[in-house]
Amino acid sequence: MTKIRLGVNIDHIATLRQVRGCTTDYPDLREAVKILAKQHVDQITIHLREDRRHIQEEDVKLLCEERLLPINLEMAASEEMEAMVLKYQPDWVCFVPEKREELTTEGGLDVAKQEGKLAKLVATFRRHNIRSSMFIEPSLSQVQSCKNIAADAVEFHTGKWVLLKNEEKMQEWKKLEEAALAANQLGLNVHAGHGLDYQTTKEITKLPHLKEVNIGHAIICYSVFEGLETVVKKMQAILSR
- Helices and strands (H and E) in the chain: how many: 11, 8
* Angular region, 68: left φ>0, alpha ψ -120 to 50, beta rest: alpha
Would you tell me the crossing angle of helices 29-38 and 11-18 to the nearest 10 degrees? 150
The pLDDT value recorded for residue 225 is 98
Instruction: Judge whether 190 and 183 are in contact, CB under 8 Å.
Output: yes
The candidate with the shortest Cα–Cα distance to 144, out of 163, 136, 170, 132, is: 136
The pLDDT value recorded for residue 99 is 63
CA–CA dist 124, 128 (Å, integer):
7
Q: Tell me which residues of the chain have a pLDDT lower than 50.
A: 102
Half-sphere exposure of 100 (CA within 13 A, CB side): 2
Question: How wide is the angle at C-alpha 48 spanned by C-alphas 240 and 57, nearest 5°?
Answer: 120
Question: How wide is the angle at C-alpha 160 spanned by C-alphas 139 and 10, nearest 5°?
Answer: 105
The pLDDT value recorded for residue 107 is 83
CA 44 to chain centre: 9
Is this structure's pTM higher than 0.85? Answer: yes
Partners of 47 in beta bridges: 74
Question: How wide is the angle at C-alpha 21 spanned by C-alphas 17 and 26, nearest 5°?
Answer: 25
Q: Any idea what the CATH number is for the domain that residue 217 is in? A: 3.20.20.70
The pLDDT value recorded for residue 23 is 79
Print the domain residue range for 219: 5-239
Q: Which residues are catalytic?
A: 47, 74, 194
Number of domains in the chain: 1
